[in-house]
């Protein structure tokens, strides 16, 4: 393998070089009247190349090599069969019989499927809760849109980790909700450390990401469209169903993307609210890197994650070919 490693100051050099580059561009504008404006994008291009494209290539590189830097597909085999390396190790130590008893381990695949399912549930719940919210916010008669957007943004200024921890004090056995339940005579029950608690935490954290893009695309709609539909004899529900909803589709798609993605990969929420009973794929990637220290397998898992997301996004994009989805901006 070619040794491509760089000394420690390389990072500094890269950063300083880029800053210099910006300076140069700024200066050359003054000197050279004929400078092309498209050159302004050069530092950015360089930056994105070093800090986005190159790291992606590195993930692929680590995923396709072993700890010694040799090419291997073992990491992907380990994804499919989490017991693969263990079986090989037993065999290497002469335990052929034992190795034969080791069945395919489905931990990684199962965790992925479970995460996708949880993310699907979270997205669906957010959509069901968020769409009406966005619709009502965009209602011109209420004249509350702008204020409500701010009200939806403000909670996000509280640190995300702490917001999740706050749910702990609500859901604990001796927490506030249980105290309330006891007070009204229902009695205490275990609310934490299960799938529902994790879902609640996810919906709580990601709901605004569903509401904003839908709101943006709804508020861009021409109110005359709805009026026209009603003049043509549609009742309110039919107008909603036939006119408003299809036209807000870009926002919906953008919202789905923005909720689905972080929910597949979250690892903090299941850890705090799930207490190890709801392991998700992000959790698996994190512990593969941080506790097991297996960068190669971790990269393979990340790569699989990335590819899956890109595929599902390109399917979603088909539904919104113009890419007009609102985004949070």
Partner 1 sequence: MKKVLCVLLAALILLPTFALADEVVNVFNWEDYIDESVLAQFEEETGIKVNYMRFTDNEEMVISVESNPGAFDVVFPSEYMVERLINKGLLAEINFDNIPNFSNIREDLKNPSYDAGNAHSVPYMWGTLGILYNTKLVDEADVQTWKVLWNEKYAGQILMMDSLRDTMGLALRTLDASNSMNSTDYTQLKAAADLLKDQKAAGMVKAYGLDEFKDKMVAGEGALAVVYSGDAEYAIELNEDLAYVVPQEGSNIWVDCAVIPVSAKNKENAEKFIDFLCRPEIAAANVEEIGYCSPNEAAIEMMGEDYQNSNVMNPSDEVISRCEYYHDLDEMWLNIYTTLYSDVLSTKVK
Partner 2 sequence: MKQFFKKCYLAIILIFLYVPIIVLIAQSFNAGKSRAKWEGLSLRWYGELFSNASIMNALWVTVSVAVIATIVATILGTLAAIGIYSMKKRPQAFMMTVTNLPNTMPDIVTGVSLMLLYIFAKVERGYFTMVLAHITFDVPYVVLSVLPKLKQMNKHTYEAALDLGATPAYALTHAIIPECKQGIVTGALLAFTLSLDDFTISYFTTSPLVQNLSTLIYSATKLGISPVYYALSSLMFVVLLVLLLIVNHRTADNKD
The reply on whether position 212 binds partner 2 by CB under 8 A is no
* Residue 262 binding partner 2, by CB under 8 A: yes
23 is an interface residue for partner 1 by CB under 8 A: yes
Of residues 6, 26, 161, 228, which one binds partner 1 by CB under 8 A?
26
Least distance to partner 1 from the beta carbon of 138, Å? Answer: 40
**Location of structure tokens 């004090």:** 169
Find where tokens 């950063």 sit. Answer: 15
Q: How far apart are CA 96 and CA 104, in angstroms?
A: 16
Q: Cβ closer to partner 1: 101 or 322?
A: 101
Chosen residue from 6, 20, 67, 100 binding partner 2 by CB under 8 A: 6
Under the criterion CB under 8 A, does residue 52 sit at the interface with partner 2? yes
Distances (CA, A) of 70 to 57, 62, 73, 78: 16, 10, 10, 16
Q: Segment contacting partner 1 (CB under 8 A): 128-136, 185-193, 213-221, 319-327?
A: 185-193
Size of interface with partner 1, in residues (CB under 8 A): 38
Closest C-alpha among 211, 223, 204 to residue 134: 211
37 binds partner 2 (CB under 8 A): yes
DSSP notation for 99-168: HHH-----HHHHHHHHHHHHHHHHHHHHHHHHHHHHHHHH-TTT--HHHHHHHHHGGGGS-HHHHHHHHH
Using the contact rule CB under 8 A, the part of the chain among 87-95, 212-220, 224-232, 295-303 near partner 2 is 295-303
Binding of residue 239 to partner 1 (CB under 8 A): no
Q: Tell whether residue 168 is a contact of partner 2 (CB under 8 A).
A: yes
Min. distance of Cβ 122 from partner 2 in angstroms? 14
Binding of residue 160 to partner 2 (CB under 8 A): yes
* Residue 66 within binding range of partner 2, rule CB under 8 A: no
**Least distance in Å: CB of 111 to partner 1?**
6
Given a contact cutoff of 8 angstroms between Cβ atoms, the answer to whether 235 and 199 are in contact is no
CA dist., res. 251 & res. 130, Å (int): 11
Residue 71 has phi, psi (to 5 degrees) of -65, 135
CA-only gyration radius of the chain, Å: 26
Stated as kind and residue range, the H or E segment containing 265 is: helix 249-265
Burial class (CB in 10 A: 0-12, 13-18, 19+), 21: middle
Q: By CB under 8 A, what part of segment 152-181 binds partner 1?
A: 172-174
- Cβ atoms within 10 Å, residue 297: 26
Among 17, 155, 223, 293, interactor with partner 1 by CB under 8 A: 293
Which of 118, 285 has the CB closer to partner 2? 285
Q: Is 228 in the site for partner 2 (CB under 8 A)?
A: no
Of 51, 50, 48, 29, the closest CA to residue 38 belongs to 29
Contact (Cβ atoms closer than 8 angstroms) between residue 223 and residue 239: no
* Region 89-128 residues binding partner 1, contact defined as CB under 8 A: 89-90, 92-93, 95, 98, 105, 107, 110-111, 114
Between CA 110 and CA 276 the distance in angstroms is 15
Question: 155 vs 275, which CB is nearer to partner 1?
Answer: 275
Q: Name the segment binding partner 2 (CB under 8 A); options: 87-95, 131-139, 191-199, 225-233.
A: 131-139
Listed ranges 20-28, 45-53, 126-134, 151-159: which one lies at the site for partner 1 (CB under 8 A): 20-28
Residue 209: phi, psi to the nearest 5?
A: -70, -20
Q: Which residues bind partner 1 (CB under 8 A)?
A: 15-16, 19, 22-23, 26-27, 82-83, 85-86, 89-90, 92-93, 95, 98, 105, 107, 110-111, 114, 172-174, 190, 192-193, 275-279, 287, 290-293
């Amino acid at each position: 393998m070619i040794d491509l490693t760089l000394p420690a100051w390389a990072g500094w050099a890269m950063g300083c070089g880029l800053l210099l580059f910006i300076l140069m561009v700024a200066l050359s504008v003054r000197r050279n009247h004929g400078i092309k404006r498209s050159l302004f994008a050069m530092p950015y291009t360089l930056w994105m190349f070093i800090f986005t494209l190159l790291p992606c290539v590195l993930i692929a590189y680590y995923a396709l090599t072993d700890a010694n830097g040799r090419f291997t597909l073992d990491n992907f085999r380990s994804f499919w069969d989490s017991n693969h390396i263990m079986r090989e190790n037993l065999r290497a130590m002469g335990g052929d019989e034992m190795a034969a008893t080791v069945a395919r381990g489905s931990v990684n695949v199962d965790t992925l499927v479970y995460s996708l399912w949880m993310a699907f549930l979270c997205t669906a719940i957010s959509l069901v809760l968020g769409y009406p919210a966005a619709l009502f916010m965009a209602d011109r008669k209420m004249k509350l849109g702008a204020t409500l957007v701010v009200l939806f943004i403000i909670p996000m200024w509280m640190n995300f980790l702490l917001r999740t921890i706050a749910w702990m004090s609500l859901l604990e056995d001796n927490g506030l909700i249980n105290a309330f339940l006891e007070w009204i005579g229902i009695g205490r029950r275990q609310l934490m450390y299960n799938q529902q608690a994790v879902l609640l935490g996810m919906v709580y954290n990601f709901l605004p990401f569903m509401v904003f893009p839908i709101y943006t695309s709804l508020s861009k709609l021409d109110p005359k469209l709805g009026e026209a539909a009603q003049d043509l004899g549609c009742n309110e529900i039919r107008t909603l169903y036939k006119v408003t909803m299809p036209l807000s589709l870009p926002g919906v798609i953008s919202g789905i993307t923005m909720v689905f993605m972080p929910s597949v990969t979250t690892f903090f929420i299941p850890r705090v609210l799930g207490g190890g009973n709801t392991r998700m794929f992000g959790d698996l990637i994190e512990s593969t890197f941080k506790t097991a220290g297996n960068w190669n397998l971790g990269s393979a898992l990340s790569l699989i994650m990335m590819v899956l997301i890109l595929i599902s996004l390109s399917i979603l994009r088909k539904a919104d070919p113009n890419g007009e989805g609102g985004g949070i901006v």
